[in-house]
Amino acid sequence: MCKIYKLKWTKSAKDDLLSIVEYIKKDSPIVAKDVYKKIREKAKSSNFFPLKGRVVPELQREGITIYREVIATPWRIIYKVGDDTVYIMMIIDSRQNFEGILLHKLLKL
């Protein structure tokens, strides 16, 4: 039997999703709604098979392997697996510089 993990969104990830949807909504509310659903569904899939996502390559090169990602093209859903919970950490556009975004987020802490 497959273990089902709880799914928790961090404030940062919620803010990321809201920003994406608000930006797209300016041009097309319908597309924004579809993108919202697409990202939420892909993130939800991680609570059934949390290790299916790959380790984030940019972090793996630095020896950090606790963060994984699943892709909802073009967005990267970055998450961390706990004992019984998958934590959605951030949503980023894969066309952007990951290291720059991560540095910006860390400086805000």
Whether 72 and 39 have beta carbons less than 8 Å apart is answered as yes
Dist CA 66 CA 14 (whole Å): 20
- Enter the pTM of the model: 0.89
Between vectors from CA 93 to CA 91 and to CA 95, what angle results, nearest 5°? 155
pLDDT in tens, 34-68: 999 999 999 988 777 888 889 999 889 889 899 99
Question: Could you report the per-residue pLDDT of 86-100, keeping only the tens digit for each?
Answer: 999 999 999 988 888
What are the strands, taking DSSP E only, across 16-107?
Answer: 54-55, 67-72, 75-81, 85-93
What are the structural domain ranges in the chain?
6-108
Q: CATH top-level class for 6-108?
A: alpha beta
Q: Are 64 and 95 in contact (CB under 8 A)?
A: no
